[in-house]
Structure 1
Amino acid sequence: MSTINFGPDLRAVAKIEAIPMILRMVKQVTGMRFAAVARVTDKQWVTCAVDDSIAFGLKPGDELALETTICNEIRQHRTPVIFAHASEHPLFSRHHTPKLYGLESYVSIPIVRANGDFFGTLCAIDSAPANLDIPVITETLTLFAQLIAANLDMQASVDESQQELAMEKKTGHLREQLIAVLGHDLRTPLSAIRMGADMLESKLIDRPERRLATAIQSSAKRMGSLIENILDFARGRLGSGIPVEPQIVETLESDLQRVIAEIATAHPLASIEQSISVAPLNRCDPVRLCQLLSNLLANAVTHGERGGLIKVNISVEACHLVISVWNRGVPIEPELMPKLFQPYTRSEQGQREGLGLGLYIAAEIVRGHNGTIGVTSSEADGTCFTARLPTLTVPAQQATLLPETPPAPDNHP
């Protein structure tokens, strides 16, 4: 008979490292020379593990005809069967199993899973009589059978968890790939919308119509920002991380000022106070730093007091570019703090704008620069996000001494 359906059971028993020791202990406790773990169903008897010193001839995966075994009876009544001298036993001297296999001594203990399913038996046999009258033998072998059942349950739980984890990883990977593809493909029609809105605004004279074109531009710009956030999130979650391309830049201060001006224009009720002092030359990714500042400012506008003061401070401290954004408002809930930079995290007290990716992307940008980001929040001191990024800066007095272009390499020896 085929054993293909018992492959998982054979592998599960083989994974239990204690099985060989248990079988040796069964032989020592009973004084018998053959011990095995058998898988028993209503149709088949299959060896899962064996310790054989009498050359009985079974190995893992071998079968015995179910009707020739006592284990089929044990499967039905689920109680141990023990006899020490079959030929002198009132019942088993007439039983077909000892006669068929030449057995004198026999022990078989049911292995029952935690859910009540009958798995099989832990058994020992010998062609010679054995001394099995000691009560501790049955108790010990019953404990061994329970240990095997517990290990099978634990192994099944681990296997199920691993399968669920693998499926979740596969599903998550496909989902994030879909997000990336959708985000990329949405750029083309959005570009057409923005170009159309720009053309309308330049041609329309009537003020209400120009306002409509301006509203289309604003919505398209916001949609573009959401798409970029989706793409950055997909890149980060797919393992490649948000790309950061550090370079020596001379316009970092003006770039950051432009971001603040854009946020102020988009949110005219916000009062933004800024203090920016950076070196003329900085090594960083200016596009990503502008995105970082924009996300922190947008977060302050969304969750701070409506029309309240927002302070932006950007400076260089100990070879680190320090960007801090402070606002007054309802403090961040303590239970939210540990997961604040995770995706889709939002405060219950704030507005429900955006995708909940802004702080996650900000943290990824900081990580890409090998920096750190943190937050403090209290009723008395307000909320302050601070990012610290290592940067190569050149003092102003030295910047004028740097050549506009690097010298050509000297090829002479």
Structure 2
Amino acid sequence: MQQPFDTHDPFLRDVLSVQKISAVPTILEVICRSTGMGFAAVARVTEEKWIACAVRDEIQFGLTPGDELKLETTICNEIRQHQQPVVIDHVAAAPDWNTHHTPAMYGFESYISMPIFLKTGDFFGTLCAIDPRPNRLNTPETVGMFRLYAELIAFHLQALDNLEQAEMHLREEKETAELREQFIAILGHDLRNPIGAISNSAQLLKRFGTDEKTSRITGIILNATHRMDGLVENIMDFASGRLGGGITLQKELHQRPAEVLNQVVSELALVWPQRTIETEFNIRVPVIFDARRIAQVFSNLLGNALSHGKADCAVHATASADSGSFILRVYNEGQPIPEITRQSLFTPFFRGDVKKGSQGLGLGLFISSEIAKAHGGRLELHSDAIGTTFSLIIPQASGTPR
């Protein structure tokens, strides 16, 4: 009757899954007590095997979880084929079963078996019971109980499968998170350092090179390194924000905030020597903000205006501050931003229609918006047929930085 169970057999997973269902022992006990049957089991039944997954044996039938019966000797094999329950009160008095080989081989007189179907509709096996004595089984109450328990077991098997899938995805997410952390480290060190070296060298060449060709080449290098540095900065902020707690700030009270903004203008003027940047910074009070982050936002907004505005028109940047708020605006003339584009402009990786040579990752405005939110402020957009204005608005609270 019994065959040794190979622990490397793929069916072991199904046996262990049923073993994990805490309700199964109670189900088998209730079946035996309510029907008078001495043996009850959950069986995995396939085209190849019949394997006991869980057993309650009060008649020393001799099966334990993992044991296998020869498939052709079981009625469960027939149930797998026609997928209908089989209920026998008394084998000897049942014309369809009194000459069947299975009752004679295993010595039972009463038998009930209910198919177990997974949520996918696939046949898993059976919930079955046998006893050497006749028993009254073919009643709506008993058949209904077996059907309910079979559905309950199928539900738990599906839940376990979902849990296993979730745990697998969690492991994959942890591995991905580790790769992201390594990726951030590479960006922060192995890429930014050489970008800085290239930028510094280009600035030296531009300072000492007097001919037009050298100036043009160094301008191209500075433009490229500026864009690369901005891409790295935005990717690091995006990845760090998703892995950690979002944009981090180091707020300070700045007595001369215009210096922070003028530094950005000077940097971009080197990158865009052929363009005109007009500024009006009317800041009459000290401002509380993270200078590096505000410079990052201003660089993103000003860089976008230079990239997408009319080439023969100046880009205008204004800033003002009072006890109520700090407001930074960047304006450029050009085509209006379509309404459908505006709806997604501050979402990550959205780029809309971009000019050739100006392609980015679509993170600049998203990061800028997140920086504004981290300051308790907001980033606004106004665009019409005349031009486009981005406004950074940060409320100013009295007192010291927090």
Q: Which one of 73, 76, 82 corresponds to residue 71 of structure 1? A: 76
Q: Is residue 2:8 matched to residue 1:2?
A: no
Alpha-carbon distance in structure 2 between the residues aligned to 1:321 and 1:293: 13
1:244 partner amino acid? L
Q: Is residue 2:269 matched to residue 1:259?
A: no
Q: Is residue 2:359 matched to residue 1:356?
A: no
Alpha-carbon distance in structure 2 between the residues aligned to 1:327 and 1:158: 54
Contact 1:275 1:312 in 2 (8 A): yes
Q: Is residue 2:299 matched to residue 1:294?
A: yes
Alpha-carbon distance in structure 2 between the residues aligned to 1:370 and 1:27: 68
| Residues 381-390 or 200-209, more deviating | 381-390
SS class of match (2:299):
helix
Alpha-carbon distance in structure 1 between the residues aligned to 2:120 and 2:229: 54
Per the TM alignment, residue 323 of structure 1 is displaced from its structure 2 partner at its CA by: 4.1
SS class of match (1:185):
helix
Q: Quick one: structure 1 residues 19 and 173, their matched pair in 2 at CA, closer, same or farther if it must change by over 3 Å? A: same
SS class of match (2:186):
helix
Contact 2:323 2:398 in 1 (8 A): no
SS class of match (1:205):
coil
Q: Which one of 382, 387, 392 corresponds to residue 386 of structure 1? A: 392
Contact 2:306 2:315 in 1 (8 A): no
Q: Is residue 2:98 matched to residue 1:85?
A: no
SS class of match (2:129):
strand
Q: Which one of 138, 149, 172 corresponds to residue 133 of structure 1? A: 138
> Which residue number in structure 1 is paired with residue 109 of structure 2?
104
Alpha-carbon distance in structure 2 between the residues aligned to 1:28 and 1:272: 90
TM-score (norm 1): 0.74
> Which residue number in structure 1 is paired with residue 211 of structure 2?
206
1:231 partner amino acid? M
> Which residue number in structure 2 is paired with residue 410 of structure 1?
none
> Which residue number in structure 2 is paired with residue 181 of structure 1?
186
Per the TM alignment, residue 383 of structure 1 is displaced from its structure 2 partner at its CA by: 5.2
Alignment of 1:29-178 (within 5 A): 30=35, 32=37, 34-50=39-55, 61-67=65-71, 69-99=74-104, 101-113=106-118, 115=120, 117-134=122-139, 137-138=142-143, 141-142=146-147, 144-146=149-151, 148-149=153-154, 151-153=156-158, 155-157=160-162, 159-164=164-169, 166-171=171-176, 173-175=178-180, 177-178=182-183
> Which residue number in structure 2 is paired with residue 223 of structure 1?
228
Alignment of 1:334-373 (within 5 A): 334=340, 337=343, 340-348=345-353, 352-366=358-372, 369-373=374-378
| Residues 4-13 or 373-382, more deviating | 373-382
Gaps spanning 5+ residues in structure 1: where?
395-413
2:297 partner amino acid? L
Q: Quick one: structure 1 residues 157 and 206, their matched pair in 2 at CA, closer, same or farther if it must change by over 3 Å? A: same
Per the TM alignment, residue 120 of structure 1 is displaced from its structure 2 partner at its CA by: 1.0
Alpha-carbon distance in structure 1 between the residues aligned to 2:338 and 2:368: 17
> Which residue number in structure 2 is paired with residue 279 of structure 1?
285
Alpha-carbon distance in structure 1 between the residues aligned to 2:141 and 2:236: 67
> Which residue number in structure 2 is paired with residue 401 of structure 1?
none
Deviation digits for residues 359-401 of structure 1, max 9, x if unmatched? Answer: 232244345x45243435565896544343666657xxxxxxx
Alpha-carbon distance in structure 2 between the residues aligned to 1:326 and 1:206: 33
Per the TM alignment, residue 254 of structure 1 is displaced from its structure 2 partner at its CA by: 1.7
SS class of match (1:360):
helix
Alpha-carbon distance in structure 1 between the residues aligned to 2:125 and 2:55: 14
Deviation digits for residues 321-359 of structure 1, max 9, x if unmatched? Answer: 45454667524545763x544431222477753221212
Contact 1:321 1:391 in 2 (8 A): no
Gaps spanning 5+ residues in structure 2: where?
none
Alpha-carbon distance in structure 1 between the residues aligned to 2:327 and 2:162: 48
Per the TM alignment, residue 106 of structure 1 is displaced from its structure 2 partner at its CA by: 0.9
Q: Quick one: structure 1 residues 12 and 191, their matched pair in 2 at CA, closer, same or farther if it must change by over 3 Å? A: same
Alpha-carbon distance in structure 2 between the residues aligned to 1:162 and 1:315: 52
Alpha-carbon distance in structure 1 between the residues aligned to 2:29 and 2:338: 62
Alpha-carbon distance in structure 2 between the residues aligned to 1:196 and 1:239: 35
TM-score (norm 2): 0.76
1:125 partner amino acid? I
SS class of match (2:259):
helix
Q: Quick one: structure 1 residues 75 and 326, their matched pair in 2 at CA, closer, same or farther if it must change by over 3 Å? A: same
Provide the aligned C-alpha RMSD in A.
4.0
Contact 1:371 1:390 in 2 (8 A): no
Q: Quick one: structure 1 residues 193 and 62, their matched pair in 2 at CA, closer, same or farther if it must change by over 3 Å? A: closer
SS class of match (2:126):
strand
Alpha-carbon distance in structure 2 between the residues aligned to 1:201 and 1:246: 35
Alpha-carbon distance in structure 1 between the residues aligned to 2:322 and 2:175: 43
Q: Quick one: structure 1 residues 264 and 194, their matched pair in 2 at CA, closer, same or farther if it must change by over 3 Å? A: closer
Per the TM alignment, residue 314 of structure 1 is displaced from its structure 2 partner at its CA by: 3.8
Contact 2:258 2:281 in 1 (8 A): no
